[in-house]
Structure 1
Amino acid sequence: MAISFKRPWMGVAIPCFIIAFIGYNAHYFILVNFLSLGKQIFFQCILSMIWLSYYLAIMTNPGRPPKVTKDPANTQKFCKKCETYKPERSHHCKTCNQCVLMMDHHCPWTMNCVGYSNYPQFLRFLFWVIITTGYLLIQLCIRIKYIWDHRYLRSASYNITTKTELIFLTILTPFDAFILLTIFVLFIRCIRNQIFNGMTQIENWEQERLESLYYRRNSTLLQTLINQVWTIYPTEKTSVHETEAEELLEKKRQHRLRFMTIVNFPYDNGFMANMTTSLGSSPFNWIWPWGGPEGDGTSFEHSEVNMYEKGSSLQDIILSLPWPPDGGRQQASSGEQNVEVNQEDGEFVIRNNNVSIDRRSWQNDWGEELKDFGVDAEIDS
């Protein structure tokens, strides 16, 4: 679920306090007691990388589309607030009050959107938090073990620790571990979506929405996709393709047509290509604080499966539809209260239909709605 603050600056003040509280208290009350000077300098260097990458994630504009008043391909959506056509993968952020190129989500912790131009900075910020908190946790555990092993050696003349150090060890160790765990989970989610699947968080949400809608009882998604083909590619509305449409609809009614055979995410081009799209082609760019992708964020390479070829089968043309293939249209809720049971590949699949199918209020398994990513859902349809 989305986090919001009455005073947006609190979203930056809280992380700054946490970084400073853990980093500097750990150094001056614990690490100086046993770490070598070289290791202390190393810790301060990686801590500084957190500050730098965080600053860049906050201050770098996520990417603003150029003004475009015509859409010759008839595939882009018009943003009434920005008064321009939005390139593919772009959305209007209601908080930043601008359209954002390859928008991933609006982050309250940076008071900024995460998009095409600053996604590398955001990912590097998460990376350096993990490196720093992980390194610190190892050192804190080493210190705790040392103190425990020598707990009987303390005396008036030989004291291996102080009360202040023990207090900060007790506070900072679980606190540091908690931050490491939460940021690591977020980092893995970002890597899984953007690098392994080529998706932003919004696009992953769309994929889950479409799959949920497809397997709903009496789903009309396939018919919507066919109508999209007739709208975008009117010359493909031939008698042959109309016959194919009836056959596909019949297969769907008989539960013989799987979701992945008619909906395929178009921007997933493999691990290295996804890395290049998000972070740039050079490994040096991946760690360089100011490194980023080399394109302009307005057009992206499509996978071969999603390339449109005139005269292809209707099923292949459906796969070539712009993302999202249903046009992101709002679906009226049926109000049904039921559970659907289908059989797929010899296994029974149970799907709960007790949720709204309106795009503006549909929730994924994390309980996230479209607006939770910062998208202005009222105009993004």
Structure 2
Amino acid sequence: MSLDFLAVPSVYALISFLSYTSQILFLYLEPYPLERKQLIRFNVLLVCLLISYTRSVFVDPGAVPQKKNGQEIEKEEGLEKKPGQPRKWCRKCDAAKAPRSHHCKACKRCVPKMDHHCPWTQNCVSHTTFPHFIRFLFYAVISMIYLSKFLWIRAAHLWANRDLPSYLGPNIFEMAHLFLLCVANFFTLFVLSILLIRNIWCLAVNTTTIEGWEIERHRTLVRRARHFGGFLEGPDGVQMRIQKQEFPYDIGIWKNFKQGMGTGNILSWFNPLARTPSISSGLAFEVNGFESPSLSWPPPDPDRLTRKMPKGMEGPEEAFTYRDAGLNPSEALAAFRKRQDADVVRRRKPFVQRVEAKLARKATSENLDGDLDDEEEEEEDIFGGVNGSKAEGNESGEEGWRNSEGERLKDFGVDEDVEFYDEQEDDLPLSQLLARKKKERVAAPQ
């Protein structure tokens, strides 16, 4: 049984413990209770914190619109495809993906400008919820800094009077309460401060957490390609040229802040009751123009492509072999569907295993003349991240690639099977295109 449903109540309990039980404790600790102005300021910060957290939990993270009455609504929602502009297709939603959207495994839909699925809000941090989430972090950090001041004054007073008889000071329960408050406040403030700084940086450069992973992945591919003359091997031995591609959505600090917070009004950035950005504003984004509009983000990745040649068709002698001759019709149909499901994405060996095999062949051909040592030194940089060893099971394949912090796409709540092997809309298999046409004809009004 999952304990995820306890995450949000636990956060509310931690806020209550740090904020309200501390105010009660301060009534009994020297040198003095909180002054009226201190109480007002502290509780105003707490109200802002609670409102921001509640909105980050309950505000809808949004969804990419699909169809309405059998007709495309992409034009009215800003999703209309421009000539020469690539667009990706989500196999689970059976719909076009908006730029910067990702399929969330928990929300079971494509979320506009998805940053990550937060386990502590049980909600996606997305285009609509990001302003509330960063306000929650801001007010949490400011409130705990203010609380740290109160705790420090009382802890310092106790230390200064440590030689006095114990009956003149707080009892054991008050001491334990003060100690727990100090420890919980310190560690929570440390973690949330790092998270706040990281999110402000992402806001300034207009990247999401997932896009940061994609940027590091692209840099790794560029390093790999440089080692192999600018090319990497794609499915069925196709050589794909890999070139450095600039991140397209960084349009300047001021515009980045306006876009991320949903407004250019600085006062609204700190208003916990500020309006939630509309979903339609998260379906298309301004780009910096450094790259051609025909290029998509994330950049081309040979390991995200599927093989074009069906399994079992590599040789002419196998092309027309009837494998189900001994099965009855129902068993043959079940076997066909099993092969069909297994063939949705035709994965290949991990890059590391392919390179190791190539280096081994090269070492054999060169009779181990010592040149391999230099390549071994470069191996970690070529592979990138922390995935430079043989992987098995769930960790195998390039969908198991990890960045320098050891994170995979699934660690951000993304459905890896859908996201890593999403497809260009123009390259959809014929069967999917025919199924879409049939669905549109059925759904079309008579």
Q: TM-score, normalised by structure 1?
A: 0.77
Find the residue that maps to 2:15 and give its secondary structure.
helix
Task: Name the SS for the 1:78 alignment partner.
Answer: strand
SS of corresponding position for 2:304: coil
Alignment of 1:208-219 (within 5 A): 208-216=216-224
Deviation of 1:81 after TM superposition, in Å, equals 2.5
Q: Could you say if the C-alpha distance between residues 269 and 222 of structure 1 is closer, same or farther in structure 2, counting changes exceeding 3 Å?
A: farther
Partner residue, 2:4: 8
2:25 is aligned to 29
| Match of residue 291 from structure 2 | 306
Q: What's the counterpart of residue 128 of structure 1?
A: 139
- 1:268·1:274 contact (CA, 8 Å) conserved in 2? yes
- Counterpart AA for 1:178: F
What is the aligned partner in structure 1 of residue 247 from structure 2?
A: 265
- In structure 2, relative to structure 1, the CA distance for the partners of 1:10 and 1:219 (3 Å cut) is farther
Offset of residue 326 of structure 1:
0.8
Deviations 1:328-356 (A, max 9, x none): 825841314586556xxxxx978664366
Query: 1:324-363 residue pairs with structure 2 within 5 A?
Result: 324-326=298-300, 329-330=304-305, 332=348, 333-334=350-351, 335=353, 336-337=355-356, 341=377, 353-354=388-389, 358-363=397-402
SS of equivalent residue, structure 2 residue 174: helix
What is the aligned partner in structure 2 of residue 61 from structure 1? 60
Indicate if the aligned counterparts of 2:102 and 2:114 stay in contact, CA closer than 8 A.
Answer: yes
For residues 54 and 61 of structure 2, what CA distance do their matches in structure 1 show? 13
* In structure 2, distance between residues paired with 1:210 and 1:64: 27
Per-residue deviation, residues 7-65 of structure 1 (Å, max 9, x unmatched):
32112122122111222221111267422122122212212222111110011111212
Structure 1: distance between partners of 2:165 and 2:86: 74
Contact 2:101 2:114 in 1 (8 A): yes
Q: Which amino acid aligns with 1:324?
A: P
Aligned partner of 1:306: which letter?
E
Unpaired stretches in structure 1, ≥5 consecutive residues: 228-244, 253-258, 309-319, 343-347
Does the CA contact (< 8 Å) of 2:220 and 2:382 recur in 1?
A: no
TM-fit CA distance, 1:132: 0.9
Tell me the CA shift for residue 168 of structure 1.
Answer: 1.3
User: How much has 1:198 moved relative to structure 2?
Assistant: 1.3
Q: Distance in 2 between matches of 1:63 and 1:221?
A: 43
Contact 2:51–2:273 (8 Å) recurs in 1: no
Worse-superposed segment, 27-36 or 139-148: 27-36
After superposing the two structures, state which structure 1 stretch, 102-111 or 160-169, moved more. Answer: 160-169
1:202 to 196, 210, 232: 210
Tell whether the 8 Å contact from 2:59 to 2:129 is kept in structure 1 after alignment.
yes
Distance 2:113 2:102 in 1: 8
Cα distance change, pair 94–155 in 1 and its aligned pair in 2 (3 A): closer
Q: CA RMSD in A?
A: 3.3
Whole-Å separation in 1 of the counterparts to 2:46 and 2:224:
49
Kindly provide the amino acid, as one letter, of the partner of residue 405 in structure 2: W
Task: Give matches, 1:67-86, under 5 Å.
Answer: 67=66, 69=72, 71=81, 73=83, 75-86=86-97
d(CA) in 2 for partners of 1:182, 1:221? 43
Following superposition of structure 1 onto structure 2, how do residues 84-163 of structure 1 map, counting pairs within 5 Å?
Answer: 84-153=95-164, 159=168, 161-163=170-172
What whole-Å deviation, never above 9, does each CA across 1:213-266 have from its counterpart, x for those lacking one?
221277679547999xxxxxxxxxxxxxxxxx99xx7xx9xxxxxx7xx22100
- Is the 2:100–2:112 contact (alpha carbons within 8 Å) kept by the matching residues of 1? yes
> Closer, same or farther in 2 for the Cα pair 1:106/1:304, shift >3 Å?
same
User: Does structure 2 retain, via aligned residues, the 8 Å contact 1:50–1:125?
Assistant: yes
Q: Which moved more, 1:282-291 or 1:124-133?
A: 282-291
Q: Give the match's secondary structure for 2:400.
A: coil
CA shift in 2, pair 1:221/1:170, >3 Å: farther
Q: How many angstroms apart in 1 are the aligned matches of 2:65 and 2:267?
A: 29
Further displaced range: 118-127 or 327-336: 327-336
Q: Counterparts of 2:207 and 2:145 in 1: how far apart (Å)?
A: 27
1:238 equivalent in structure 2 = none
Distance 1:285 1:355 in 2: 50
State whether residues 223 and 381 of structure 2, in contact with CA within 8 Å, keep that contact through their aligned partners in structure 1. no
Q: Deviations over 1:68-122 (max 9, x none)?
A: 6574545221223323211100011110111100000001111111100010001
Question: Aligned partners of 2:112, 2:154: CA distance in 1, in Å?
Answer: 46
- CA distance 1:298–1:145, change in 2 (3 Å): same
Distance 2:290 2:390 in 1: 32
